[in-house]
Structure 1
Amino acid sequence: MSLDPRTRPEQTRDADRSRDRRTRVTAIGLSVLVVVGLVGFGSYTLLNESEASENERSVRADDAKAPAPDRNGAGRNDPGPDGPGRSGSADGPIRGLRTWDASKLTRNHVDGPVAYPMKPPVGGDHNPVWMNCDGEVYEKAIPDVNAVHSLEHGAVWVTYTNRAADADVAELAARVGRTPYSLMSPYEGQDGAIMLTAWGNQLTVDGADDPRVDRFFSAFVQGPQTPEPGATCSGGLGAS
């Protein structure tokens, strides 16, 4: 059966209207999706920026709380004559460590005596010949001017007075005897009964079993304070 030709235009118009409605619905749906996506992206971006700002503020706060470094880049420690101490150790500051500004410790070779401002001396002008310091234990006092040269080579100098216990002296002597770049001698006139000295650094300890002894040796035997790293500790002046 054929359709009445008069009804075809109306049917065509109905189809066009339906198609237009579908197109509008689709366009509206896509627009809604785009808007939702933009809102979600904007919220995500704002959240990330907020978190980044919060992290930055936290880092700045932590930096403000951190101890200020000294010239050697280490943390602050107990004050010494020319400024705060440093540990030279990853374990943090060594309690009681005293330091001197290395830029004020001259290193000229001299033939005569030197009036050092501290006992034992921690650096300064010194004799051209060093004290042998490859685990040397001296039973008598040694010249300051030669011992300071040993410090310049990266040695740790252990000194003690008659107030030190015999057991502590014996234990420290054994420690020095097995440690290259170290030396030990009696030293009357120093403040502490037992003292450890490296170039620009000094520590008074309570005894041979004081845990700071190990830390001092670890930090300063050929440590970063050494003006002449790798210089020999043999072939110099020995016991007379």
Structure 2
Amino acid sequence: MAAHPNPSTADRRARIEEMRRAEKARERRNRIITITLSTVVVAGLVGFGAYVLDKESDEKAQEVASAKAPIRDEKSWDPKKLGRNHPTTPVSYPMKPPVGGDHHPVWMNCDGDVYKKPIRNENAVHSLEHGAVWVTYNGKAPAAEVKKLEEKVGKTPYTLMSPVEDQAGAIMLSAWGKQVTVDGADDPRVNQFFTKYVQGPQTPEPGAACTGGTGQQ
């Protein structure tokens, strides 16, 4: 006659089996959750990457469009009529600040250099020949606007900034053969001018140094 399992033993086996089934069910749920979360994270990263690339592409397109668009109230001079000789004597310029012409053999350092005192026109014009943008201001320019422009110039290679008290506008931007008077640091023409003319197509000597010149004021 076959022996029957002890009821308590059968109960323990049943509980163990039930625990095993529950554990396997938990493992399956955890795997599903892990896979789902991983999929969501990967999808999120891919989507974020696409968003960043799209944003960068849009910003680049805006920069290109800005560089091609005309700048409101900008003045231009024929580059063929702007001399490029290197005299060591003072030069008389027909515009103020000058946007080109004969200039000193040594350029003004223009690697984001901010000068608190007036600088020699002849040195600054040589910087323009190298593709720099020169930001100038007079006593009518609000101090807050001057500070913002100083910060922008300080972060931008191939730019320089200095006061020119007897200029016509409170804040003016000059490049070789180009000039515009702006309303303030947040005037959209500031970014447009920088984008268009820092080492822009007007540059007679693109890639020439903006360091190693003079910083004398």
The answer to whether the 8 A contact 1:154-1:181 is kept is: yes
Which amino acid letter does the alignment assign opposite residue 193 of structure 2? Answer: F
TM-score, normalization by structure 2: 0.69
User: Structure 2: any 5+ residue segments left out of the alignment?
Assistant: 1-64
Q: Which has the higher contact order (CA 8 A, sep 6+)?
A: 2
In structure 1, the partner of 2:187 is 210
SS class of match (2:67):
coil
- Tell me the distance in 2 between the aligned counterparts of 1:236 and 1:130: 5
What is the alpha-carbon root mean square deviation over aligned residues? 1.2
- Tell me the distance in 2 between the aligned counterparts of 1:219 and 1:226: 11
Q: How many equivalent pairs are there?
A: 153
Could you tell me which of 116, 124, 133 is aligned with 2:101? Answer: 124
In structure 1, the partner of 2:156 is 179
1:208-231 C-alpha deviation (Å, 9 max, x unpaired): 010000000000000000000000
Which amino acid letter does the alignment assign opposite residue 181 of structure 1? Answer: Y
1:12-51 matches, cutoff 5 A:
none
The answer to whether the 8 A contact 1:88-1:223 is kept is: no
- What is the percent sequence identity of the aligned residues? 66
User: Structure 1: any 5+ residue segments left out of the alignment?
Assistant: 1-86
SS class of match (1:218):
helix
Are residue 103 (structure 1) and residue 66 (structure 2) matched? no
In structure 2, the partner of 1:231 is 208
- Tell me the distance in 2 between the aligned counterparts of 1:95 and 1:115: 28
Could you tell me which of 52, 60, 67 is aligned with 1:89? Answer: 67
The answer to whether the 8 A contact 2:66-2:192 is kept is: no
Which amino acid letter does the alignment assign opposite residue 168 of structure 2? Answer: D
- Tell me the distance in 1 between the aligned counterparts of 2:172 and 2:197: 14
Deviating beyond 6 angstroms after TM superposition, the runs of 4 or more aligned structure 1 residues are none
Q: Cα offset for 1:239?
A: 3.5
Greater helix content = 2
